[in-house]
Amino acid sequence: MGLLLTHYFNLFDFVMQKLVNGLVIVCVCCMLSLGAKAQDESQTFKNFQFSFSRVTQAWTKYNDSLSKIFEKQGVSYPPKDIYLRAFKAHNEMELWARNNAHSEYKLIKTYHICALSGILGPKRNEGDRQVPEGCYFIEDFNPRSDFYLSMLLNYPNYSDQILSAKKPGGDIYIHGGCVTIGCMPMTDDVIQELYVICLNAKLGGETYIPVHVYPVRFNKTGLNFLGTQYGNDSLKQAFWVNLKTGYDYFEATHKLLPVMYTPEGKYIFSN
């Protein structure tokens, strides 16, 4: 009886080991398959982008000089992790970058936004000519834009959908052409440079390039301005206080917190 039990236990161990080995092989195969699929998609995206002369010309014109700019700031190029931060009242967009998820972002360059429509405050209605304010990411790259080159933001995000009217609008881009009715336009030269940087980051694996849009820098001067000009607008004041939480954390640490939302559409900046 003892020999028979020992035989059954040995057989059970053998079967279980085979099952475990089989599961490991299946998991490894799945991982390899997913990795290959992602690589194929990245190559397809790259081939599509570089099939347009505007992209290849921008790459040829700016890629080498950008490498030197990043090197000067101690950040590797092509970049793996970048962050764009815009300030409407200053007509400025900052480019930040870092080498890995554990290091601090470094300011690489500040670009001039050559035109803005609307006033300070978030976009809440389709056709209001407002430039959105809040936390977004680059959703798409358009190499055949009517405004030379353009990058689409994921507006409206969840917060915008909750806090806006029934039709919050859409199609908010960073683009060339230097004209706007609610986007963030650059000169064609500037959009070429930004497009190359962001395209490099995308090809390097940064799926969601963050773009945060603020009314002002939330320093003493900016806060005084908002208090003077919009002190009676309680909705905007509450919205800006909410945004300032993420702004303050980045100013103190040069790192970004994950962005989430409450059911009421408020931003949550939290680990």
| pLDDT tens per residue, range 123-137 | 999 999 999 999 999
Q: Could you tell me which residues come within 8 angstroms of residue 44 by beta carbon, excluding any fewer than 6 positions away? A: none
Q: What torsion, rounded to 10 degrees, do the Cα atoms 250, 214, 139, 58 define?
A: -90
Alpha-carbon distances of 46 from 43, 81, 197, 203, rounded to whole Å: 5, 18, 14, 7
CA distance 147 to 34: 36
At 17, the pLDDT band (50, 70, 90 cuts) reads low
Structure tokens at 183: 């986007």
* Predicted confidence (pLDDT) at residue 204 exceeds the cutoff of 60: yes
Name the nearest CA neighbour of 87 among 228, 227, 213.
Answer: 213
More confident residue, 149 or 2: 149
Structure tokens at 224: 């005084």
At 15, the pLDDT band (50, 70, 90 cuts) reads very low
Specify whether the CB–CB gap between 161 and 123 falls below 8 A.
Answer: no
Q: What is the pLDDT of residue 4?
A: 47
Q: What is the pLDDT of residues 59-89, one digit of tens each?
A: 999 999 999 999 999 999 999 999 999 999 9
- Whole-number average pLDDT of the chain: 89
Q: What torsion, rounded to 10 degrees, do the Cα atoms 216, 190, 148, 105 define?
A: -60
Specify whether the CB–CB gap between 143 and 149 falls below 8 A.
Answer: yes
pTM of the model: 0.85
Q: What is the pLDDT of residue 143?
A: 97
CA distance 180 to 132: 13
Q: What is the pLDDT of residues 37-53, one digit of tens each?
A: 667 788 899 999 999 99
Q: What is the pLDDT of residue 246?
A: 97
* Predicted confidence (pLDDT) at residue 31 exceeds the cutoff of 90: no
Alpha-carbon distances of 118 from 83, 167, 201, rounded to whole Å: 24, 17, 31
CA distance 121 to 134: 10
